Amino acid sequence: MAIRVNMHQAKSNLSRLVAKALQGDEVIIMRDNTPVAKLVPILDERVPGLARGQVIVAEDFDSPLPDGLLDGFDA
């Protein structure tokens, strides 16, 4: 269910609106009857470095591409 609130209502009821977003409701914040922001939950925040040691980059990853392949990009 989409909930549309003006800026003043959003400031006054932020905790309630965050709870609604966590329950799955779409919370749209309006300014002058124009949507300007959407309140969404962060379900799985990414943590930098979790894949450290699991990603392998080939030594030639930045070598020039073959001419035949590059020709396809000019078309």
- CA 24 to chain centroid, in Å, comes to 16
Return the CATH number of 2-39, one of 3.40.1620, 1.25.40, 3.30.450, 3.40.50.
3.40.1620
Q: What is the mean pLDDT of residues 39-59?
A: 86
* pLDDT reported for residue 75: 57
Runs of H (alpha helix) within the chain: 7-12, 14-22, 67-74
Q: What are 48's two structure tokens? A: 């930098």
Q: Are 32 and 6 in contact (CB under 8 A)?
A: no
Q: What is the pLDDT of residues 3-46, one digit of tens each?
A: 999 999 999 999 999 999 999 999 999 999 999 999 988 877 77
Annotated domain spans of the chain: 2-39
- Predicted TM-score (pTM) of this structure: 0.57
